[in-house]
Chains A and B, each alone.
Chain A
Amino acid sequence: MVEIILCGRGGQGIVFLTRQIGEIVAAKGLNVISSETHGMAVRGGSINSHLRIGGFFSPLIRQGHADFLLSLDPSETSNNRHYLKPGGLIVENSPEPPEPGIRRVNATGLARDIGRVQLENVILLGFASTQDGFPVTPQEIRAQIEKDRREQVRDMNLKAFQAGIVAAS
């Protein structure tokens, strides 16, 4: 059983990440349930997704239960930190150096280098997938991204995903 909170601002692609992980897990025959933000908040407001793998019925993670907090915006990390369990790991999009319990990658900067700031979510996913205990492997995510039939989107996503993995090594 793994519980993950993903957070950021509306428009950063939180729902996309949640779906990628969920689809991989569902295809493996495991139970997975998630919850996402829609409506007015997606107009640049604070948003988060909850993703729970295992025998859960509720799509919501209780405070102090999440194994991972993936944050696309450092100012949103603190809005969601209370979900993390003691010893849980924060994976954050930030140019700052890592600290105990927080791994960081400058996903925005790397995405800009690739030429599309919107790829920051995929870079963060690549980076997170190398962390101990993360429920999906880089190989599984790569295979998932390769399923996209839109060639240009697929290639950009693969490039961004690889950049995230390289940044972790």
Chain B
Amino acid sequence: MPSQNDSDVRFLMGNEAIGRGIIQAGCGVAAAYPGTPSSEVLQSLVRWKKELDHSIYLEWSINEKVAFEVAYGASLAGMRSVAVMKMVGLNVASDPFMSAAYLGVRGGLVVVVADDPGPHSSQTEQDSRFFSWFAKVPVLDPGTPAEALEMAVRAFEISEKYQVPVLLRPCLRVCHARQNVTLSKPAPIANVGPFEKNWTRWAAIPRFRLVLHGELNEKIEKMRLEEPESKPVPILNGSGNSIALVTSGSVSSHVRDVVASDDRLKDIDVFKVGMPFPSQADALQQIVDSHEKTLVIEETYPVLELQIMDRRKVEGRLSGAVPPQGELVPETVEDIILKSLGETPTEREAPKIKSRRPSLCAGCPHRPAFYMIKSIFDEAVYSGDIGCYTLGINMGAVDTCLCMGSSIGMAGGLARTPTASNGTQVVATIGDSTFFHSGVAALINAVHTGAPFVLVIMDNSVTAMTGGQPTPGNPYLADGSGGKPIDMERLIQGCGVDFLEVVDPYDHDAMKDALEHAKKHVFEDRNGVAVVITRRACIRAPNAEIPSQRFRIGDDCDLCMTCVKDLECPAIHYVKGERRMEIDEDLCAGCGFCVSICPSRAIELKGA
């Protein structure tokens, strides 16, 4: 976000534009859990709050379910409120989300859910528009950052008008696009008045739920007919009766540019739907009926396509014209359209791509932790989790990665198998933010059931992968104001864990001792779960302690490659032609762990 200036045009990231829309709509409470590609929405709210001296309440909630519930509570108490998450976060929040659709809202309630077709940084390519259909919640699908701002404001209006939650679904190509965006003055914080007791609504038992379901159905039918976003709007006019193209969301922008840039495509009528659910099925059917052929291009599920009743003249995902998986990038869109029109496809040189794999940063405290886990538990099954430390796969120290918090729950199952009884050990790894998010309940389960595995909690004090958002372990909140830090040791002891040690992962000998003690506790002395916390701030965190010491590789190096293959340090590389190893001073963070693990003791302190 640019620093303050007088102009009301800014070059904003889609997520910053959504944040601005939230502010402009007079929203008073925002709760989020970070996750790519959604994280910058709340981060931008922190900056808008500061820049505008705005009184909006902001929090990084412990997980998406809690974020939704906080926003929902604020809505019942009259405030416009928002919950922000990535699409797999909506899976976590799905229980209150589905129920809230029935109960309805008071102050406008918007759920921003960022989708990740590709997927680039996620476990699935799920389409949140489909989720919204499942929940009977309206969804707005922006095509650009500028439109995302407008739709954020509209989402609050629709929510308050019909008293339902509204989902705003930006895809990654909106979230992480930047565009010149025109700002308006923020509305004052909206408030429809204090909470009004009505247990038949806000605490409805099943008998009343049936009534509420009927009301929800009526609301959906009403907005389908009355809200302009439910109608397909022409965005490019062709000849009028040969080919129609119906699209929505971020892929509509690729469609628009591809069609507008090619003379062969000038006969196509392009229609865009702003609210893919509930959309005006009759209007879609009219388009289909009045054209020889209609192509539907949307991401990632056939949401609009399925709402067209007679699809005999329709091409899309259901007909196989649109690939069933993968991101629809402009090249794919161009290929789909040209093929459908029977035109010659664009010839493209196959790109010669040798992508560099991501890797834990040089100096990352997770690296020595994984190294020691591998060396102490050499035959174990490594139950991994979601965060930077998923990159432990590069070191062979992560075998599984299912979803947030699953390392602990899955370890409880991995430890109950014949392989485990035959001596295969189970070691689970999880970061502090993910542990707070959804690991705690699984740990209580493991303690109660006596599950025999070692749990290593890699506490780097931030949610590092998504940009270093503060975790509940910190004494401050999203906007920097004070918060009570949660003492992780007390929490773990409170879960009933009998073995707990805390170590600095840079300290080779202490790490070795702690892991060996934990191993003995679980696998020799036959106790339940043992927990080791490896604690050191992320090297990118504000409280990082980066040593100033630097190292060199001396003549004793026998090119065994332990530092490159097993430690996987990106700061060390082999110099071709000279048959020697070198430490890249630009990358080295001075952790010195390579000194401890080098088998020939060839790495020495510089200037020593």
List residues of A whose CB falls within 8 A of some B CB. 9-10, 18-19, 22-23, 25-27, 29-46, 56-64, 75-76, 78-79, 81-82, 117, 147-149
Contact = CB atoms under 8 A, between A and B. Distances in A.
B177 A79 contact: no
B146 to A, nearest CB: 9
B356 A39 contact: no
B3 A35 contact: no
Contact of A39 (B3, B120, B348, B351): B120
B331 A79 contact: no
B570 interface: yes
Interface in B454-502: 465-467
A34 B177 contact: yes
Contacts of A62: 258, 330-331, 334
B257 A38 contact: no
A35 B5 CA distance: 23
Nearest to B358: A45
Nearest to B327: A60
B359 A79 contact: no
B391 interface: yes
Chain B interface size, as a band, is: 35 or more
A61 to B, nearest CB: 8
A130 B323 CA distance: 43
B196 interface: no
B173 A27 contact: no
A26 B391 contact: no
Contacts of A37: 176
Interface of B: 2-3, 5, 7, 9-11, 13, 36-37, 39-40, 120-121, 143-145, 173, 176-180, 252-254, 256-258, 329-331, 334, 346, 348-361, 388, 390-391, 465-467, 570, 586
A113 to B, nearest CB: 13
B348 A64 contact: yes
Contacts of B145: 33
A75 B331 contact: no
Contacts of B37: 38-39
Given A27-B9, A57-B144, A63-B331, A76 B356 contact: yes
A59 B143 CA distance: 10
B133 to A, nearest CB: 26
A41 B172 CA distance: 14
Contacts of A32: 11, 178-180
What 3 A-B pairs have minimum CB-CB distances, sorted nearest first? A39-B121, A45-B358, A59-B177
Nearest to A117: B586
Contact of A34 (B178, B252, B390, B570): B178
6 contacts: A38-B39, A39-B36, A40-B391, A58-B173, A58-B257, A147-B5
B9 A26 contact: yes
A33 B355 contact: no
A38 B180 contact: no
Contacts of B465: 39-40
Contacts of B355: 45-46, 79
A57 B256 contact: yes
Contacts of A79: 351-355
Contacts of B346: 64
Nearest to B15: A38
Contacts of B353: 79
Contacts of A76: 356
Tell me which of A38, A46, A79, A147 has the highest count of chain B C-beta atoms within 10 A of its own C-beta.
A38
Contacts of A27: 7, 9
A19 B361 contact: no
Contact of B10 (A26, A35, A61, A64): A26
